[in-house]
Copies of this chain bind each other. A is one copy, B any other.
Amino acid sequence: MPELRKSPILKRWVIISTERGKRPLDFKVVRDEPKEGFCPFCSGNEDKTPPEVLSYRDSGTGPDSPGWKVRVVPNKFPALQIEGDLNKRGEGLYDMMQGIGAHEVVIESPDHKKNLHYLGNDHIESVFCAIRERMIDLKKDPRFRYILVFKNWGKEAGASLEHSHMQLIATPIIPKRAIEELDGAKAHYAQKERCIYCDIINQELKDKRRIVYQNEYFIALSPFAARFPFETWVLPLKHISAFEKTDRNCFPSLVDIMKTVLLKLDKALFDPPFNFIIHTSPCNGIDFNYYHWHIEIIPKLTKVAGFEWGSGFYINPTSPEEAAEELRNIDISGDNQNL
């Protein structure tokens, strides 16, 4: 019997269709081999991107030249433009404003063929540090309300370049999904005076069935009302409202859990296309007692997009309990090359 489950935060129902019970092999996506052509993100091609806004590089090397480990550049084809005023205006029923914002690309390493989780732990930590540095800087701009940080891996997940990278988009409005999460968490706090994410973590720690992995400061779990097969969330165990407020001594733990989860997903699902998104607090600087930052990882395995987009109703053919068990049991000891 399929089960209907409600997200405790977003009040969205999903159908967990266990009788369709898809196994990892059913989801195998045939991926293109890496191409050998020109790549603007590779070392030596620094002049093919806009000038870098941040880089971690060997001492003695200059900006926009080889010698970097992590490099952040403005997107050459930005979704939003950095220069200008918002010019908010209306037209009858409609509201609009200029598309002002920042759109940056974090090039995770000079290596064209290596995804984030195949880098050494220190290197991955540098990537997350670069993101934190850029977030702190962008939050100073009073035009911006939210910083969206995400990674698309694989053409099927929307990546237009195959060289591994992440993106930051600073927006002059708070995205709808962030508002919904904040509203849902606020309603819970108003009733209980507790953070709903903290409550979820406590319930999951007792239940254990949906835990994928856990270390000193973080937990990875299959959310109870997962929309997608093998959707996995990574949350700090202790309450922290915003990504950039995370203590630097928690970063090795963050690197460990992201690496572990992404390696497990790779091995279980044959290097699937995926997205991950950092869900964090808006730019207003408030230390929300009801909001808890986290990362949502979504392997892109199903194609039932239009119906879901139209209705907000999701059918997930793999139960979160099955997905978590599968991922827990994957042995990645041979794959973690901490170079």
The A172-210 residues at the B interface (CB cut-off 8 A) are: 172-173, 175-178, 180, 196, 199-200, 203, 207
Chain A interface size, as a band, is 35 or more
Which residue of chain B is the closest to A97 with respect to CB atoms?
B4
Distance of A2 Cα from B300 Cα, bound (Å): 28
Residue ID in chain B nearest A80 by CB atoms: B2
Q: How far is the CB of A15 from chain B (nearest CB, A)?
A: 5
B156–A95 CB distance below 8 A:
no
Complex formed: what's the CA distance from A296 to B15 in Å? 23
Question: Do B304 and A158 touch (CB < 8 A)?
Answer: yes
Q: Which of B94, B309, B313 contacts A148 (CB 8 A)?
A: B313
Chain B residues in 8 Å Cβ range of A176:
10-13, 311-313
Q: Is the CB of A312 within 8 A of B8?
A: no
Question: What 0/1 pattern do residues 90 to 108 of A give for CB contact below 8 A with B?
Answer: 0011111111000000000
Say yes or no: A79-B2 contact (C-beta < 8 A), given A93-B199, A274-B306, A311-B277: yes
Q: Nearest-CB distance from A18 to chain B (Å)?
A: 9
Shortest C-beta distance, A7 to chain B (Å), equals 9
Q: Is A275 an interface residue (CB 8 A)?
A: yes
Chain A interface, >50% SS class: mixed
Chain B positions within 8 Å of A1 at CB level: 81, 84, 98-99
Provide the residues of chain B in CB contact with A77, threshold 8 Å.
Answer: 20
A 251-293 to B, binary, CB cutoff 8 A, 1 in contact else 0: 0000000000000000000000011010100000000000000
Instruction: List A residues 122-160 near B (Cβ within 8 Å).
Output: 148, 150, 152, 155-158
Q: How far is the CB of A16 from chain B (nearest CB, A)?
A: 8
In the complex, the answer to whether B200 meets A93 with C-beta atoms within 8 Å is yes
For A11, the closest partner residue in chain B by CB is B176
20 pairs, CB–CB < 8 Å, chain A vs chain B: A1-B81, A4-B97, A8-B93, A8-B95, A10-B176, A13-B173, A148-B311, A150-B310, A157-B303, A158-B305, A167-B307, A171-B313, A176-B311, A178-B312, A274-B306, A275-B310, A277-B307, A277-B310, A296-B310, A298-B310
